[in-house]
Amino acid sequence: MISPQPYVAVVTGASSGIGEATARRLAREPGVRLVLVARRKERLDQLAESVGGATVVAVDLTEAAAPQSVREAIERTHGSELHLLVNNAGARWAGTFGETGWANVERHMRIDFDAQVRLTEALLPLLRTTAGSAPGRVAIVNVSSTSGRVARPNGGGYSAAKFALAGWSDALAAEELAYGVHVGLVLPGFIATEGFPAAELRSHPIGRFIVSRPEVVADAIVDCALRGKAERYAPRYYWLAAAARVLAPRLVARAVAGGAFTTATNAGERD
């Protein structure tokens, strides 16, 4: 639990799924002042009302002016104070590279990596300034994916962006340590959300046991943000997939190529 003093938290992709669950989880902490970011203003307004009030920024984070718009909204309502940035917004479109080519990789990079980096660049000065007066309370949490450690067929574009986000997060964590800004990484497994319904997995007698809820990821984000965890898989047991990829890469490659865990959503929805 954080201090009852004001604690300003930005959550992107907040209109549904993991972002919405994270906003609701953070709203239970005393002193939190939420800044909700996504494209769908009506959804954000409804969420803001349900959590007792929040600053709403309805923008498409892939647009050039979006990072500055978010920063200006924070400065209008909270001055230069910013304690937490949760980079959660993302999307996934299925397809092999042979079928979808560079265009599919590029659109994944724009929303799942470039947008996170650009927003962080715009808000990092606020985070560093706040860290100078609130040591130990300032964090960036980047939401990657277990697919950012273990890639699957039909998801190469998504994995490329999530691998990039994980690698960049590792470097950023080391760089920002001296400034008092903690950087955490959350890697969800299969999570049933509006954009990622995982319907095929949930209909399978075994597959349904590996599909989890957005609230599980929200708890992992809070662990990184408020308790200083460096990295969390959500659910926790998904670390086994990443460990197997390192310890037995050939075995994992055969399993994946043979169809294991390839029944992922074809969703192209975005928060």
Give the pLDDT confidence score for residue 152 in this predicted structure.
Answer: 86
> Can 179 be counted among the known catalytic residues?
no
| pLDDT tens digits for range 169-182 | 999 999 999 999 99
pLDDT exceeds 90 at position 192: no
- CA–CA separation, 202 and 109 (whole Å): 28
In the predicted model, is pLDDT for residue 151 greater than 80? Answer: yes
Please check the confidence at residue 3 and state whether its pLDDT lies above 80.
Answer: no
Instruction: For residues 99-117, give the mean pLDDT.
Output: 97
* Res 191: pLDDT: 79
What does the pLDDT look like over 153-165, one tens digit per residue? 899 999 999 999 9
**Would you state the pLDDT for residue 238?**
80
pLDDT-based confidence at 105, cuts 50/70/90?
A: very high
Tell me the pLDDT tens digit for each residue of 198-214: 555 544 445 455 677 89
pLDDT for the residue numbered 245: 75
106 assigned to some structural domain: yes
Tens of pLDDT, residue by residue over 112-140, are 999 999 999 999 999 999 999 877 789 99
**Is 265 part of any domain?**
no
Give residue 232's pLDDT.
94
**Average pLDDT value for the chain:** 87
92 part of a folded domain? yes
Q: Which two tokens stand for residue 71?
A: 């920063």
Domain ranges, residue 26: 7-257
Q: What is the rounded distance in angstroms from the CA atom of residue 82 to the CA atom of residue 243? A: 35
**8 closest CA partner among 21, 29, 122, 16:** 29
Q: How many domains does the chain have?
A: 1
CATH number at residue 227: 3.40.50.720
State residue 134's pLDDT score.
Answer: 76
Higher-confidence position of 118 and 151: 118
Residues 55-81: tens digit of each pLDDT: 999 999 999 999 999 999 999 999 999
Name the CA dihedral angle for 98, 61, 32, 216, rounded to a multiple of 10 degrees. -10
Closest CA to 184 of 148, 229, 235, 251: 229
With a cut of 90, say whether residue 44 has pLDDT above it: yes
Is residue 237 included in any domain, yes or no?
yes
- Confirm whether 271 is domain-assigned: no
pLDDT of the residue at 184: 97
Give 12's pLDDT tier (boundaries 50, 70, 90): very high
Please give the pLDDT value at position 263.
44
State which of 134-148, 176-190, 252-266 shows the largest mean pLDDT: 176-190
The answer as to whether 264 is a domain residue is no
What pTM was estimated for this model as a whole? Answer: 0.88
> What three-state secondary structure class fits 139?
strand
In 3D, which of 12, 95, 146, 87 has the Cα closest to residue 268? 95
Q: Which of 172, 61, 177 is CA-nearest to residue 110?
A: 61
Query: Within a domain: residue 269?
Result: no
Residue 248: predicted pLDDT: 78
Q: Is residue 263 part of a domain?
A: no
Q: Residue 202: its pLDDT value, please?
A: 47
- pLDDT score of 223 more than 70: yes
Q: Among 158, 233, 237, 238, which one carries the catalytic annotation?
A: 158
Q: Is the pLDDT of residue 233 over 80?
A: yes
